[in-house]
């Protein structure tokens, strides 16, 4: 693949907080061309939040680039808040933000959990979705969550990272690792929830890239980021990501006409290739781009190149 560089760093020209009810305040920002084609960046996690590099997948001369932090994470408040934090509410927040910003339709771009939420949004509002760019596909099915949490799943590929993750729990609580983590993550006492939050987020950070990236691991263990990521991920995993019984594959007919690109690292361990392949089989009209030497992270050069290439091609859409 021809190497495509990220666009230069830019600053937002508009920022704000949107009150979406239930005590939640959602941070949002707009950068790039104020009169440009709108594009929405949907971050991962759930609970991960946005960062400045995520503006750089888009041509700032062409796109009006919208980033937002989902409920309970990033700059949104309350940090780690779980009340009415579910997929239908997040989809409604996206619609409210679109309306507040005066946007008729936009391109939706999301990776990992962001691919889950982007698909859920597009299936709920296909008339508002110009195109989809999806990366590191996560369909939030039980087998995908079991893979993430299991010693014989992701833990079999990264056994030392899993051992450190599990070791945060007292030995008596290791029979059911997920339930033990969930109980501690939702405890209001920081002395109880913060150590396991850092362990959870650090475990995930250890597995996201094809080659070791200590900076990703260090960033993932920062107190606020770790708390929002671990607590909100566990909350969504506990409740099947609040998706309908037929799952996201059951709603493909509603979006089959929408132009889409699916970008997947062949050696993605966090969100294994099988989920992207299942989405491809259900939706063959979407372009399926497998990156041969890449893992999960959008910062891996060949994945970033494919994402920029996709957003560059979608500049031609009406």
The ranges assigned to domains in the chain are 14-141+242-316, 143-240
Q: What is the mean pLDDT of residues 116-131?
A: 98
Average pLDDT score over the chain = 96
Q: State residue 7's pLDDT score.
A: 97
Residue 109 CA: distances (Å) to CA of 7, 43, 122, 318: 16, 9, 11, 17
Q: What gap in Å lies between CA 107 and CA 63, rounded to an integer?
A: 10
Catalytic member of 59, 86, 93, 112: 112
Q: What is the mean pLDDT of residues 270-296?
A: 98
Q: What is the mean pLDDT of residues 183-210?
A: 96
Strand 63-68 relative to strand 24-32, pairing: antiparallel
Q: Tell me: the pLDDT tens digits for 86-112? A: 999 999 999 999 999 999 999 999 999
Q: State residue 2's pLDDT score.
A: 45
Instruction: Say yes or no to pLDDT of 185 above 50.
Output: yes
Q: State residue 199's pLDDT score.
A: 96
- CA atoms in the 13 A half-sphere facing the CB of 171: 0
Beta bridge partners of 68: 28
Q: State residue 93's pLDDT score.
A: 98
Residue 10 CA: distances (Å) to CA of 33, 250, 287: 11, 39, 29
Cis peptide before 78 (omega within 30 of 0): yes
Residue 278: active-site member: no
End-to-end Cα spacing for the chain? 27
Instruction: Say yes or no to pLDDT of 279 above 60.
Output: yes
Q: How far is CA 250 from the centre of its chain?
A: 20
CA dihedral 78, 84, 89, 90 (to 10 degrees): 40
Q: Tell me: the pLDDT tens digits for 25-45? A: 999 999 999 999 999 999 999
Q: State residue 312's pLDDT score.
A: 97
Residue 296: active-site member: yes
Q: State residue 154's pLDDT score.
A: 97
Q: What gap in Å lies between CA 219 and CA 215, rounded to an integer?
A: 6
Cis peptide before 200 (omega within 30 of 0): no
pTM value is 0.96
Q: Which of 34, 116, 22, 101 is nearest to 68 (CA)?
A: 101
Confidence of residue 1 (pLDDT cuts 50, 70, 90): very low
Residue 207 structure tokens: 């597995």
Q: State residue 5's pLDDT score.
A: 84
Residue 112: active-site member: yes
Residue 71 structure tokens: 């409920």
Give the H or E element holding residue 24.
strand 24-32
How many residues are present in the chain?
Answer: 318
Backbone phi, psi, residue 124, to 5°: -80, -30
Q: State residue 318's pLDDT score.
A: 62
Give the number of other CB atoms < 10 A from CB of residue 167: 11
Q: State residue 4's pLDDT score.
A: 59
Only one residue has tokens 């250890």, namely 206
Q: How far is CA 133 from the centre of its chain?
A: 12
51 contacts: CB under 8 Å, gap ≥ 6: none
Catalytic member of 69, 86, 93, 268: 268
Q: Tell me: the pLDDT tens digits for 50-78? A: 999 999 999 999 999 999 999 999 999 99
Catalytic member of 118, 275, 296, 297: 296
Instruction: Select 14-141+242-316's CATH number: 3.40.50.10800, 3.40.50.150, 3.40.50.1100, 3.40.50.1820.
Output: 3.40.50.1820
Instruction: Say yes or no to pLDDT of 3 above 50.
Output: no
């Amino acid at each position: 693949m021809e190497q495509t560089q990220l666009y230069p760093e830019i600053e937002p020209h508009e920022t704000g907080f949107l009150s979406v009810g239930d005590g939640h305040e959602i941070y949002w920002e707009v950068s790039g061309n104020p009169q440009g084609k709108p594009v929405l960046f949907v971050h991962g996690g759930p609970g991960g939040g946005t960062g400045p590099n995520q503006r750089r997948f888009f041509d700032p001369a062409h796109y009006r680039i919208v980033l937002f932090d989902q409920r309970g994470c990033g700059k949104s408040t309350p940090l780690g808040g779980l009340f009415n934090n579910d997929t239908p509410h997040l989809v409604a927040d996206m619609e409210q933000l679109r309306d507040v910003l005066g946007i008729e339709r936009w391109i939706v771009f999301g990776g990992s959990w962001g691919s889950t939420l982007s698909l859920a949004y597009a299936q709920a509002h296909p008339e508002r979705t110009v195109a989809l760019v999806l990366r590191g596909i996560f369909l939030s099915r039980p087998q995908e969550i079991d893979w993430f949490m299991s010693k014989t799943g992701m833990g079999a590929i990264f056994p030392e990272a899993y051992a450190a993750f599990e070791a945060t729990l007292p030995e008596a609580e290791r029979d059911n690792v997920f339930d033990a983590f969930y109980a501690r993550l939702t405890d209001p006492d920081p002395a109880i929830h913060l150590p396991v939050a850092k362990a959870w987020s650090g475990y995930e950070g250890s597995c996201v890239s094809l080659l070791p990236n200590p900076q990703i691991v260090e960033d993932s263990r920062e107190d606020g980021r770790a708390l929002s990521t671990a607590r909100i991920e566990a909350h969504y995993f506990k409740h099947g990501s609040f998706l309908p019984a037929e799952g996201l594959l059951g709603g493909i007919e509603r979006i089959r006409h929408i132009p889409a690109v699916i970008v997947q690292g062949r050696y993605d361990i966090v969100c294994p290739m099988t989920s992207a392949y299942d989405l491809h089989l259900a939706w063959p009209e979407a372009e399926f781009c497998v990156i041969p030497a890449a893992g999960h992270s959008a910062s891996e050069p060949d994945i970033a190149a494919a994402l920029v290439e996709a957003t560059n091609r979608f500049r031609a859409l009406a």
